[in-house]
Structure 1
Amino acid sequence: MIGLLQRQNEELAAANERLTARVAELERRLGRNSGNSSMPPSADTFGRPVKKPQAKSVRKRGRQPGAGGAGLAMAAEPDVTTDHLPVACSGCGSALGESDSIGFERRQVRDIPLVTVTVTEHRAHRCRCACGTVTTSAMPQGVAGSPSSYGANLRALAVYLLVFQHVPVERTAQLIADVTGAEVSTGWVASLLGEAAGLVADSLNLIRALLVMGHILHADETTTRIGTARRWLHVACTDFLTLLHLAPRSRKGADAGGVLAHYRGVLVHDSLSLYAGYGACTHQLCGAHLIRELTAAEEDFPGQKWHQQIRWALAGLNRQAVRVRAGEIPGISPDALLLHYEAFHQGIAVGLSLHPKAPGRKQSPARNLLQRLRDQAHDILRFADDPLHVPFTNNCGERALRPVKTQLKISGCHQSEDGATAWLGVRSYLDSARKHGIGTFEAIHRAYTGNLWMPPIAQHI
């Protein structure tokens, strides 16, 4: 038995040496064919790059002598022009006026006007006709039913501070009072989240429908807190749209967003088991997660090479895909695909031989990783089949979740599920508008003034 294992290890070592030689040969061939293969030399194929110590710079901090400046440019047409004329001649004392000017020196100052609350009273008159009928004028749209209320501009500012700038409720009320003079209450500020969520509901419904119809969809999840309880937060997003919702960490919870259960395109995600249940769509597993797991395996087993080999294959294919999206090459060449596919699968085979299956269901982390790489290879390498559209990582989904963590760090947890749901709805609307180049304050102001932003349909289908 020992002799059999020794022969198997010797055969695997010999196969690894043959593959290394094959890699070097294909690299040389690719270098001759493309002129700029963007691949590392064969000596670095399966090794982690060694960081060279950097020499200490002798330059001083700050802008260097001779560097180009980036000062504030003067406006060609200023909004206000103020002329300053000398009162009298400095020589003889004669009076001087604008007609005596022979030139001037320019200076421009950019500033904002001080913000002060303006009270506008609306009077809906009742008029009696000669026939005796009394007709009452209707109040303008947006004027609340109570005798005194705050307007759309102030409401939009408060929601912008709460949702996009992560300012807590109490500090939002204080900031508004200090800057505008409006003594708003914390209760009024807190009530705006539910109001704003209702205003953007139509836009969220369209965002949800467009996500379902899209070709690429990113999905991710993280934890948040409501009071003292931990809750799960899900996101479905693209480079143009974002939809966040609260739900348990389960298939049913993911379905609650109204997107994944109906999706038929390419779903980009980490390897969480709940996503595997969506069989109607195709999958792309996040390469960044796999790279991190392979790096951790290298730290656990520094004497082995399979993790370096698989990591190099994934990173190399990603570099080729980046070149395709940048327009440098029309597609990943067959030779490059063969080179990296062979390295990927051979690395898995070597790793599985070094980490045999243990009795029972529980396996080592390295074995579980290798089995996942083997069994889901097509879902891991799908980006190489369509490098122009399918991304290598799920960074889009992770970026969409970062504001939620920022909110927890700055403002603390939400105090109710209704408040958290409203915050996530408004955040989804603002993030989607921002991805289309719409300013976040402009987006929420449009919702309050009856001009709700709606995502364009043609761009996403």
Structure 2
Amino acid sequence: MSDLASLSREELVALARRQDAQITVMAAQLAALMEKFEQQEAELTRLRHLVSRNSGNSSMPPSKDDDPGRTPPRKQRRAKPSGRGKGKQPGAPGTALRWRGEDELDHHEQRFPEGPCVCGVDLATAHDLGVVDRYQQHEIPLVSVTVTQYDQHAVACSCGKVHTAARPDGAGGGRVEYGPNLRAYAVYLLVVHFVPVHRVAEILTSLTGAEPSAGFVHSPLRRAARALHACDFAIRTLITLAFAVCADETPLKVGPATPAEGKKEAKGYLHVACTDLYTHFLLGDRSMKTFRQTVLADLEPGAVTVHDRYHTYDSTQLGDLDHQLCLAHVLRDLAGAAELYPDDTWPVQLADELRELIHRANQARTRGEATLPQRVKDLGMRGLRAAVRIGLAATKRIDDTRPGARKTRLLLEAFRDREDDFLRFTTDLRIPPTSNQAERDLRPSKIQENISGRLTDPDRAKDRYLIRGVLSTAVKHAVNPLTVLRGAFTGTTWLPPAARA
């Protein structure tokens, strides 16, 4: 104070001006720091939200739950003990080896002790006391490639016409080639088990003694796809006759690694339309043009599509369809909502009511009923509507910018506005409450991507998924996929039977 008191008026004014300028600069710096801090806080919140995503509260696959830093899903609440023991339940089908009768055996050997006795006498001269032990062994023969030459003769009829013997089934136009069995194994390993091309060549060499090239391993894809085209068309047609169809799509790395003009990423989308008996894939993008090429555009009016609320599924360009919104996605979103609003009970109540309705529908379906009993449905509806009302009241703040808040609000508004589309499965038990069937059919494509990476040739990628759709359908009908592939290479195309009404 003594220093300031000694200053003149002019000096005090100059000092105040300097301090005012410094305060202005510091205020600007503080404002910039605060803005940066808020940006970093928002980014940190977003990153924490992303790290907290797992298979329990989002659509992430369970394989991502073990990634470094990832928050594992919460353990599900254990249900009341059912009293059942662990392992196989009584009445469930088993696959244990059984003892075969004499007429079912392929070979029967009589085995006797060999060598000398301790007394020096050869056991070949010993007295036979009969069978004291029986043992049956199921074994496969060692596989070794065999080379067969086929000489096609020409003969002249007495009328003068010449006839030439046809080549064996599955033979191509070359002089030397691998047969249909080896081609079927190559396609099977590529398409069903996603083994990379060079490893398929190694496996076939180790198992058969043949030495196929990488070019041979890849070449049967196109031939198999052409042979199975009629089966693929039949599957598509049969799906269009179904009452309820599960649909989904997933990104797939396919084609050139450089993004096309106007695109951020070089990827396509694999679409699936399926039932519990049929599977059909389509490779394209996420545009309406691709959606109009899917099976959904050919469904009968009034058919039900089960999907994940992606907006294109609701387009009228796909026809006059009813919708069942996938409740597996909803339950995962509600798990995320419960983490965002830990002090609120409505997310848990809404999830519990949905699970109870699904459980009751499964029980009614097991009993052979066509629809859920009205009293059960009414009871569940009261609880659902109450939880939705409470949730809408709790999330009406417009200033809540936390990651996940807007998604939760949109879910509740969808429940309010599209209640019938969430609960259509309760009106007809032929409708599944989730699109899990579609997710199961699509999941292997992500496994293939993780193992083999990008599919650089879009045409061969389409061949792969045409074949995979046929083989998935065959497995659903308990038909060996290798049998289907071998038939494709020998001119015998398998066709799926029509579903019974």
| TM-score of the pair, normalised by structure 1 | 0.78
Distance in 2 of aligned mates of 1:346 and 1:357: 19
* CA displacement 1:361-389 (0-9 Å, x = unmatched): xx922321111111111000111112x21
The question of whether the paired residues in 1 share the 8 Å contact of 2:246 and 2:437 is answered with: yes
Residue 30 of structure 1 is matched in structure 2 by none
Amino acid at match of 1:117: V
| Displacement after TM superposition at 1:105 (Å) | 2.2
Residue 377 of structure 1 is matched in structure 2 by 419
The question of whether the paired residues in 2 share the 8 Å contact of 1:85 and 1:97 is answered with: no
The question of whether the paired residues in 2 share the 8 Å contact of 1:207 and 1:242 is answered with: yes
The question of whether the paired residues in 1 share the 8 Å contact of 2:186 and 2:200 is answered with: yes
* CA displacement 1:252-309 (0-9 Å, x = unmatched): 2122234434443111001000001145111100011111111211211122232223
Residue 298 of structure 1 is matched in structure 2 by 338
Distance in 2 of aligned mates of 1:261 and 1:131: 55
Distance in 2 of aligned mates of 1:384 and 1:135: 66
Amino acid at match of 2:490: T
* CA displacement 1:140-180 (0-9 Å, x = unmatched): 44321111111111111111111112111111111111221
Could you say if the C-alpha distance between residues 258 and 334 of structure 1 is closer, same or farther in structure 2, counting changes exceeding 3 Å?
closer
Amino acid at match of 1:407: Q
Amino acid at match of 1:349: R
Q: 338-347 or 232-241: which moved more?
A: 338-347
| Displacement after TM superposition at 1:129 (Å) | 5.7
Match of 1:397 among 430, 438, 443: 438
Structure 2, unpaired ranges of 5+: 1-73, 79-86, 88-94, 258-265, 400-404
What is the 5 A alignment of 1:234-253?
234-253=271-290
Amino acid at match of 2:410: N
Could you say if the C-alpha distance between residues 350 and 104 of structure 1 is closer, same or farther in structure 2, counting changes exceeding 3 Å?
closer
Match of 2:467 among 422, 426, 439: 426
Distance in 2 of aligned mates of 1:417 and 1:313: 45
Indicate whether 1:158 and 2:213 are aligned: no
Distance in 1 of aligned mates of 2:388 and 2:158: 94
| Displacement after TM superposition at 1:438 (Å) | 0.6
Secondary structure of 1:364's counterpart equals helix
| TM-score of the pair, normalised by structure 2 | 0.72
* CA displacement 1:318-359 (0-9 Å, x = unmatched): 111011122187853333222211111122222222333749
The question of whether the paired residues in 2 share the 8 Å contact of 1:87 and 1:97 is answered with: no
| Displacement after TM superposition at 1:183 (Å) | 1.4
Residue 7 of structure 1 is matched in structure 2 by none
Residue 204 of structure 2 is matched in structure 1 by 176
| Aligned residues between the structures | 397
Residue 267 of structure 1 is matched in structure 2 by 305
Residue 27 of structure 2 is matched in structure 1 by none
| Displacement after TM superposition at 1:103 (Å) | 3.1
| Displacement after TM superposition at 1:220 (Å) | 0.2
Distance in 1 of aligned mates of 2:221 and 2:143: 23
Could you say if the C-alpha distance between residues 97 and 76 of structure 1 is closer, same or farther in structure 2, counting changes exceeding 3 Å?
farther
The question of whether the paired residues in 2 share the 8 Å contact of 1:85 and 1:98 is answered with: no
Indicate whether 1:257 and 2:294 are aligned: yes
| Displacement after TM superposition at 1:391 (Å) | 1.1
Distance in 2 of aligned mates of 1:358 and 1:246: 40
Amino acid at match of 1:284: Q
* CA displacement 1:224-262 (0-9 Å, x = unmatched): 112422111100000000011111112221222344344
The question of whether the paired residues in 1 share the 8 Å contact of 2:273 and 2:295 is answered with: no
Distance in 2 of aligned mates of 1:49 and 1:149: 55
| Displacement after TM superposition at 1:99 (Å) | 8.4
| Displacement after TM superposition at 1:71 (Å) | 7.6
The question of whether the paired residues in 2 share the 8 Å contact of 1:236 and 1:397 is answered with: yes
Amino acid at match of 2:483: E
